[in-house]
Amino acid sequence: MSALATAIVVFIIILAGAAAYLRWQAPGFTGHLLPSRRSSTRQLRARYGREYDRLYAQHGDHDAVERELSRRERERARLEIRPLDPEDRVRLVDGWTAAQVGFIDDPGDATRRAQQLIGEAMALLGYPSSDDPERQLGLVSVDHAHALADFREGHELMQRSHTGSRDVDATEQLRQAMLRFRVLFDDLVGVGARAQVSTPAREKVAA
């Protein structure tokens, strides 16, 4: 066999191998995942936790979930996420404290205020707010997936409280919602945020 013929055979073998690899990776392929693919899925599930599971329950397909997460990550990469100004951090933390105090007299209003404060924190950090709240939450999930899962549970509890049969049940559901909202609030604003705020910054807000 001439050198040219040998080169042609090798080239054909390479093309066939590449085609097989692409077929295995294509959506809808029902064969065994390649080790690298399984590893990628494990890493994404570890990173996104319950958010990954929620998307899988919604789509029923790992490929669809990972395409959605990839889309979120690309969009998140185009954002300029910035740290909170000290004054904004003070205002948000003080607002949260006020909401907790107000829970005793009006649990529903306090829980709604807590949710509003989380929305304000997202916007101040640079996550775009829009008429599509799910888009904003999807972008937040790239950086705060585990805390976002608590927020989603809190939102469900808040919605459920409106259909509760007894006031005591509704109040407990709202209390649990506040606890779950606090997880994401702390993640966005910073755990121990009150201690991190300088005295001059707090005095400036108080003025």
Q: What is the pLDDT of residue 129?
A: 81
Question: In the chain, what are the domain boundaries?
Answer: 1-31, 37-78, 86-206
Q: Nearest 5°: CA angle at 174, between 169 and 175?
A: 95
**Tokens 């991190």 identify what position?**
196
Residue 115 neighbours by CB distance under 10 Å: 20
Decide if 41 contacts 62 (C-beta within 8 A): yes
pLDDT band at 180 (very low <50, low <70, confident <90, very high): very high
Q: Is the pLDDT of residue 32 over 80?
A: no
Comparing 56 with 169, the larger pLDDT belongs to 56
Q: Is 198 left (phi over 0), alpha (psi -120 to 50) or beta?
A: beta
No. of helices (H) and no. of strands (E), the chain: 10, 0
Instruction: Return the pLDDT at 9.
Output: 54
Alpha-carbon span 35 to 140, nearest angstrom? 29
Q: List Cα–Cα distances, 71 to 27, 67, 111, 123, in angstroms.
A: 15, 6, 32, 20
Lowest mean pLDDT among 62-71, 131-140, 144-153, 176-185: 131-140
% the chain with pLDDT above 70: 71
Mean pLDDT of the chain: 82
Encoded tokens for 121: 């924190």
> Could you identify the residue written with the tokens 């004054």?
87
DSSP class of 34:
P
